[in-house]
A and B are shown apart, each in its own frame.
Chain A
C-alpha cells in the first residue's frame, strides 16, 4: 500500500527552484530517508508534504488525500518533528503532551492515558511537572519527538531529529525510532549518513532540488560503484567522482 506519492512536486521561490518536479513513492510502514547537502531541497519537500508550504507545481497524495486539495484531511493523519525543538515553553512536559492530544481532537481521559504512555516510553516520570523551558536541549528534543508521536500519526516527518544531540542521546532516539519501524511511515531527513544507513529501509539523495537516486544503502553503493555509503552519497549529491 502506498503512503505517499508525489507527482512532479515543485517549489519555486521567485526565480530559485527549491524542489524540481519530484516524483517519489513511499510505501506504508516504510522508513524513508531524504539525504542531501544544505539547500538540496529536503526541508522544503518535508514542508510541502506536511502542508506547511504550498507547492508551486505538481501535487502529492498522502494516504489517499491531496496535500493541495485536502490539506486538513492530510493534517489529521500526519505529525512532524521540526528541525528546531517545537515545544510550548511555559507548559510542563505533561501539559505539552496533553495539549497536542487535545488539538488532535482527543478527549481529556484519552489525552491523559496517551500522555501517561509517552511519559513511560520516553522516561519523563521525574520531569513530567517541569516546564519545558527548564529542560536541557536533549530533553526538549525528546519531548518534541514525543509530541510528534502522541497523536499516533500514520505518517511521521522527522526533520533532522538528532541535530545537536550528544552521542548517547542520539543512540537513545535511534532506539525509539527503530521501535516504530513497520508500524508507521516515517520520512527522515538527516545530515548524519550513518543515521540514514542504520535506520532507513530506503534512501533518496537530493541535490539542487532534484532527485538523484533512490534505493537501499546497498543499492546506492552498487549504483555508484562505491565501497562505502559515504562515498556513494558524495558521488550522488556532489557529482564528484570518488
Chain B
C-alpha cells in the first residue's frame, strides 16, 4: 500500500515533466516516421516496418532508464528524500515505488510505437502482441539500469551515463539501423556480449513468427535484467544505510 502511494507520486513526477514525455515518446516516433520515409524512397530491408518497429521500441525503452535515473538522483539531491528516509517506508517500498510506475510507461511507449507503425503500414497480427510481450524483459532491464544509475550517480552524471552513453550504446550496438555482423571483429563480439541486440532480435523473431528463436535471445536479456536488478537493489540498500545519501 505504501509502495503504491510512493509509486503514484513518482508517476506524477515523471508524467508532469513534459520534456521527458516529449523526448521519450516523440524521438522514437520521429525516427520511425523518418526511416520509413527513407525506406519508401530507397528500399532497405532493415528499414521495413516489421523489422524497424521492434528495434525502435527497444531504442525508445532506453529513455525509460533516463526517466527513472533522473527522478531518483534528483530525489537524492533534494531534501525530500531525507523526509522519506525518516518515514516508515521500507527499502522494498522504495524499490517497488520507483519501479512500478515505469512498467506502464514502458508499455504505453511501446504501444505508441506500434500504433504509429500500424499507421505506417504494419499489419495487425498476433505476432505484434507477442513482440510487445517480448519487449517486457528489456523494459525491466532498462528500468533496473535506471534504478542502479539513480542510486549511484548524481543528476549531472545520470544525464551523461543514461542520457548519452546508454542511448548511444543502444543505438549503435543493437542492430536497429545496421547489422553489427557486417562490421565484424570486436564490434560484432561486443554487440553480441551486450543485451541490446538480443532484445531487438527477440522482437524481430516474434514479429516474423520465428518462435523458436525468441527464447534464446530473450534468455540473454532476462539474464542481464536479473543481474542488473539485483545490483540495483543492493546499491539502493547500501545508499539507504550510508551517511551519504
Contacts and interface: CB of A to CB of B under 8 A. Distances in A.
Interface of A: 13, 50-54, 72, 75-76, 78-80, 82-91, 95, 99-100, 102-105, 144, 147-148, 157
B86 A51 contact: yes
Contacts of B9: 88, 91, 95, 99
10 contacts: A52-B85, A52-B86, A88-B9, A90-B12, A90-B17, A95-B12, A99-B5, A103-B6, A103-B87, A148-B83
Contacts of B42: none
Which 5 interchain pairs have the tightest Cβ spacing? A102-B5, A86-B79, A84-B79, A86-B83, A50-B86
A105 B80 contact: no
B65 to A, nearest CB: 20
A75 B91 CA distance: 13
Given A13-B243, A105-B88, A147 B2 contact: no
A15 to B, nearest CB: 15
B82 A105 contact: no
A80 B83 contact: yes
B83 A82 contact: yes
A75 B84 CA distance: 10
B237 to A, nearest CB: 14
Interface string B60-74: 000000000000000
A90 B80 CA distance: 12
Contacts, number: 73
Contacts of B243: 13, 53
Interface of B: 1-2, 5-6, 8-9, 12-13, 16-17, 78-80, 82-90, 93, 241, 243
A101 B174 CA distance: 44
A82 B79 contact: yes
A103 B12 contact: no
Contacts of B17: 90
B165 to A, nearest CB: 26
Contacts of A53: 243
A90 B13 contact: yes
Given A79-B87, A99-B8, 9 more contacts: A13-B243, A79-B86, A80-B86, A82-B79, A88-B80, A90-B16, A91-B9, A103-B84, A103-B93
A148 B87 CA distance: 10
Contacts of B1: 102, 105
B84 A72 contact: no
B82 A52 contact: yes
Nearest to B241: A54
